[in-house]
Structure formats: C-alpha cells, structure tokens
A and B are shown apart, each in its own frame.
Chain A
Amino acid sequence: MRPADDIKRMIKTLSDTTSAEMDKKVLDDALKALADSKETQSADAGPNRWRIIMKSRIIKLAAAAVIIFAVTAPIIFFNKTVPIAYGGIEQTVEAYRHMRSIHLHHESPPAAEPQDMWIEFDENGKPVRLRLEEGLGDTFRIVTWVDGVIKFYRPAEKEFVVIDQPGAGREIEHRIELVNPRLAVQAIYDEHLEGKLDIEIEQNATEDGLVRVIATDTTPLDELPKQAFRVRYVLLVDPSTKLATQREEYFLREGKYVLESRFIYDGYNEPIDEQMFVFEVPEAVQVDDRAARAGLFQGDLSDSEVAAEVVRRYIQALVEKDYTTAGILYNGRPADELQQRVEQTLEIKCVRLIAVGEPVPEPERGQRAYGVPFAFLIETADGKKEIAGPWGGKVYSPEAEANLDISKCRRAMVRPLVTDPDYWVIDGGI
C-alpha cells in the first residue's frame, strides 16, 4: 500500500520548466500590458503628488512619549464575535511601543502616484534608517537615509545626489513623523480622550477577521475652523498583533465622507534587507546642497505673510516658466522634474495668478505651518481655460472668477524648513 506521505513527496517533486519560446511570448505580452497600463495611469495622475504624505489633521509633530494607558475609553461595540478579542485602541497604542521596522504603502486617490517607505526604528521609536520610493515613470525616485546621509536617485535622469550635511536628516525625520502609524494612532487616541473624536469599533469586520476602528471628528459643523473639513479616520487592526494594517483618512464633503488618503502597513518588525539601503552607484555622482538652498528667506515678514508670499511667488514662477525658482520654493524640488510634471505630464500652461487667500494655521503640520488657499488660471493641452484651486476644478469664465470664494479653495501647505527656520517652503497641496 503506497502511503500518503509517499504520494505527497512525489507531488512535491513535480517540476516543469517553461520553454524559451513561451518565456518570450509571455514576457513580451506582459511588458506590453504593463506599458499600456502605465499610459492609462499617467493620464489619470493628478497635480498634487506632494500633498500625499502630509494631510493628517491630527498627527503630532513631536515624537510622543510612550504612555501606558490605564483608562479604558468609552467604546461602541457592534454585535459581532471574534476569536481574538480587541479591547480598544489603547491596545494598539501599546502595541506600537514594540515597532522596530515597517513597510508602509501610501496612496492618495487624486494624486495616483504611490509611495513606499521602509523604515527602521530604535528601541525608543526614533527612526534610524529609511528607504523611500515615490513617483511614476520618469519622476520615479529613490531616497535612502542612512547614518544621517541622504542619497537621492532618479533613474530616468541618471541623477544621483548625496546630501551629507549636519541636520539634513531632520527633514527626513520630519517626514517620517508625518507618516508614522505609531504617532497617528497615538494622536487619534489622545484626541479621543479629549472628546474630539468618537470611536466606534467593529469586530471581525473583514473576511480576514480584522477589526475596523472608526474615529470621527465630533466638532459640530458650524464650529469647525474656517475652511476645515470634518475628518474621519478608519483603521483596520489585526486583533492578534493589535497593530494597524491600514489607515484611511476621509473628509466630509457635501454631506459625504470622501477618501483623502490611504496607508497600508505591513512588514512589522521584519528585518529589512541591507540591500534596500544600498544603491548601485551610477555613473555621475555629485554633492548637492539643495537643502540649504530651498525656501524663501523670511526677513521682516510675519509668518502668515511669508507663507502667502511663498505661494504667490511659486505660482508666479510657474507662470513665467521659471522652474528653478519654483523648485526652490517647492521644498527644493528639481527644476527639470517640475517642468516635466507641468508641461509633459499635466500638459498645462499656467497663465496668471488669480488670488492667494488668507493663510490658515495648520499646527498639526508644524508649529508654524500654514495652509494657503490659492487660485490661478491654467490652459489645458486642448486650449481650454480652467481655474486651478477650487476643489474639483472650475471652467474659467469672467463670472466664475468674479464669484470665486478663495477661502474655499485648496490650500498649499507652507512651513519653515526644519533645518533652517528662516526659510519657508511649500510642502504639498498644490
């Protein structure tokens, strides 16, 4: 009698190899399909790639001290049972104390350009190493941050930049703070304890048995700060690890919660391959002082004045096709990348500035950060004129311009450089 183990062993040894002819056929067709999907994707790409990591209203900028919470927050449970009980978001806060590494994927529906980060933390939760990949096609770039040295590689341009300056890493740390799930969850919990967020928990909410945590802003709509949206955060939590596998952020617009951005987390505490932090050295290497050159010097202007001025000058630079100046104001972004984005990807011409609104403090984005509403006239590839700034865009007409409420337009995020607070930069939103 042939035992089952024998049969299993035989099945395991089954091994077929594809033919060279098949390999060629499959790869040719798959690469073509990939290229086709790339074109479709590029056409859908929105204008605001840089806002994608910066939108949370409640993320704290300072790395929060770890607190073991004794108080159990009031929680609404739905009538569902789970094999592993999830006791509340404080368990997730606690679980994040042990996070030493993570891979996070971020996407923001209007922007369509994904972002991936692999981050290592020390035992205190402080980030120590990073690999960042973002952009699509020609704008794809890789950034590593290891031992305080930032390396930036843009394959399409064979551009390789090393930034090895004291304090340069603080910009990276600032960015990581804005996407760090540990701080995001801590902030949700803090605001919940302060009564600013209602939390609902849906046990066993997905096929995989994940828990859904819904945190909704409790501020009455008529008491919301000017131009602010009511926000809702939705976490998916693995009840076995208590860690979040996904975080989504929604804004209430016209009575409906609309998805603003989504983070997907995985790879918690998995060792990150050393090769992830190493580049194959390209032909040309240059040392760059981009971080020191970025931004507009504040001088005698107040914080809100300089914030508005940065946006005004940025739009004016786009109108004049002065991409070098625009790039310096946009967090030191390379001029050719901006130019490519505006002229080839978006295929628009910036015609003139319409208005820059009153800056609104955005303390969640930094102690001195502001959101600056903007509107400017653009011309699309087919010659149509539109107003950029209003949510969803607006076809241009003199009446439309005359009736424009600048306070309801989108806001460019502006802040002083962490490394040099006398210089202000745009950090997203436009």
Chain B
Amino acid sequence: MIEDKLLVSRLRRGDADAMRRVYQKYKDYLFTLAKALLGGQYEAEDVVHDVFVSFARTVRQVQFMTNLKGYLATSVGNRARDRIRARTRQAAVNLDSMDPVSSNTDCPQQHAIGQEELMRLRQAIAKVPYEQREAVVLHIKGRMKFREIAKLQGVPTSTSCARYRYGLDKLRSLLNSEVQ
C-alpha cells in the first residue's frame, strides 16, 4: 500500500518510471479481469490499454486515491461494461472470438487444473448475464468488496450480493450440465 501511495505521488509529478512500475505491477491482474469480463483477448487488451492511458492522463486531476489497485480494477469494470453495452446488436458473447486458453498463460496452477477445464470455465463465464458475471469476477478475482461493486453497478449492495449469488449458481449449473 505504501508503495502504491508513493507511486501515485510520483505519477502526479510526471515520473515515467512510476508509470512503468504501476503498469508492470498490475497489467496481468487487470488483463485477467478484463478477459474474464469480456471473453475476447483483443477487447481485453483494448480495455487495459484505455485504462492505463486514461489513468496517465488524469492522475493529476482525480481525487487522491487511497487504493490504486481498486481504482484500476474499477476502471476496468467500467470500461468493460461500456464495451458490453456497445454490443447491443449481439445476442450473446461471440465465443468464436475467444482466444485459445493456452495462448498466453504461464500459471502453473492453471496448468495443473487443466486447460480443458479452464476453457469450459471461460465459456461458462461468458454465458452468465453480464451484471452477474461482473459481480462474480470482480469479487472473486478482483477481490473487490460488494460495496465497491454496487457502486460500480449503480445498485444497492444487496443487489450486487444477489447478482453474485445468481452468477455463481448459474456458473455451477452450466459447468455441471457440461460435465454430465
């Protein structure tokens, strides 16, 4: 936390090294979030790109941020949501656009679980209604509190909790039906 405060302080002064450090520190975390929310690799890349560029442009103006990681995760959530809205003509997420799971992952745990299983998980996540998917991904992977997710979604905290529960149930149902 202290390091983040220091980094933000330096960013406010235009320190390029601080920008590089923030990017290196959070790029994979944010990219994983974006990809889980959106499904497609290219869209996720665009979202992360836009988040960092916007962050660099506005870091001097925004209210002092006490939680850099949360701030960036919320930004990813907002931008992913914008992209989902832009997909109004699509009835569902285009799974064809999703990249192979193995394309850019080097997590040993992930290999241990099995790429087939993770592929099914990603496909299942993509089928969960967006608000529920957002609550599940941001809470479990993004480690955001329901209060923060509720703020992002513009709903009461109880609603974001419910969306999380429904999302998890839906995931379980999807994964179990595939197993059967």
- Listed in ascending order, the chain A residues whose CB lies under 8 Å from chain B are 1-4, 7-8, 10-19, 22-23, 25-27, 29-31, 33-38, 41, 103, 105, 114, 116, 118, 133, 135-137, 140, 207, 264, 266-267, 270-273, 276
Contacts and interface: CB of A to CB of B under 8 A. Distances in A.
B5 A267 contact: yes
A135 to B, nearest CB: 7
Contacts of A7: 121, 168, 171-172, 175
Interface in B60-92: 60, 64, 66
A13 B49 contact: no
Of A1, A11, A136, A264, chain B has the most CB atoms within 10 Å of the CB of: A11
B57 A34 contact: yes
Contacts of B127: none
B66 A15 contact: no
Contacts of B117: 10
Contacts of B156: none
Q: Is the interface of B mostly helix, strand, loop or mixed?
A: helix
B179 A33 contact: no
A27 B19 contact: yes
Interface string B23-61: 100011001100110000100110011001111111110
Nearest to B15: A140
B126 interface: no
A37 B13 CA distance: 10
Q: Rank and list the top 4 A-B pairs by shortest CB-CB distance, nearest first.
A: A38-B14, A15-B107, A33-B56, A34-B56
Given A8-B140, A18-B27, A114-B9, A34 B118 contact: no
Interface of B: 1-3, 5-6, 9-16, 19-20, 23, 27-28, 31-32, 35-36, 41, 44-45, 48-49, 52-60, 64, 66, 104-107, 109-110, 113, 117-118, 121-122, 125, 136-137, 140-141, 151, 168, 171-172, 175-176, 179
B53 A37 contact: no
A26 B52 contact: yes
B6 A276 contact: yes
B113 A16 contact: no
Contact of A18 (B16, B28, B113, B118): B28
B13 A19 contact: no
15 contacts: A7-B121, A11-B36, A12-B140, A13-B109, A13-B113, A14-B141, A15-B28, A18-B27, A23-B27, A34-B57, A37-B60, A207-B151, A267-B2, A267-B5, A272-B2
Nearest to A36: B57
B23 A27 contact: yes
B95 to A, nearest CB: 16
Contact of B32 (A15, A37, A105, A114): A15
Contacts of B107: 13, 15
